[in-house]
Amino acid sequence: MVAENRPVALITGAAQRIGAVIAHTLHQCGMDIVLHYHRSASAAETLKQQLEQERSDSVRLIQADLQDTEQLPGIIEQISQWRGRLDLLVNNASSFYPTPVSSLTTEAWDDLMGINLKAPFFLAVAAAPLLKAQQGAIINLVDIHAERPLKDHPLYSMAKAGNAMMVKTLARELGPEIRVNGVAPGAILWPEQEELPEPAKAEILSRTALGRIGTPEDIARTVRFLALDAPYITGQIIAVDGGRSLQQ
């Protein structure tokens, strides 16, 4: 398939961790990938080289601060100039850290609401015309804590709750041309910002029905399913949590 006819996926925060695995998975399915990154330039370039060893001229890097909403239309314009199409938007970029009520700040509010809620919403709005032309899809990375708040993380939990409602709202607003769904990870990767002690990790895993941590590949496979194999699913959020959400 010539490059101009291959489907194109934009993945935000795609240089590392879950985003990078999603990029690998969708690339293996024949999609060309737009890798968005903010500060992880070296990791993004390394991932681009890895993917293009498998298929040349199949990856585009775009650096942007998603919290600056004025940059978002420019991201979509770069994709339009590169391939002239967009088939999938994966809103993966996120920020996660504790904000206890006793010490939270308006700066933390702006940051967590900005990257987890405001940015994916306005990026989806900007991408909608290109996605509509391809009968495309949007997939948000939500969180199981959108439904059950995580202790000491009120702002993050609230932002992800809004993100979950965004999935449902945009499914109604952008249908029938665009499907919008979400994936809610449970214990997949331990946070980079917090070094959890082993007893805390064991306690978290003991509250999953499967009794073990998941993998980024579990998330990527669910994204792939919603993107490519679920033409009659929209407005839904799939929890990929090993059964964690079965318990309080």
User: Would you please indicate which residues are annotated as catalytic (active-site) residues?
Assistant: 156
- 193/195 Cα distance (integer angstroms): 7
Cβ-in-10-Å burial (0-12, 13-18, 19+) of 92 comes to: buried
The residue to which tokens 């040349």 are assigned: 56
**One-letter amino acid for residue 175 of the chain:** G
Which alpha helices (DSSP H) does the chain contain, by range? 17-28, 41-54, 72-82, 106-113, 119-133, 154-174, 198-206, 216-228
Cβ-in-10-Å burial (0-12, 13-18, 19+) of 137 comes to: buried
Nearest to 187 by CA among 167, 156, 216: 216
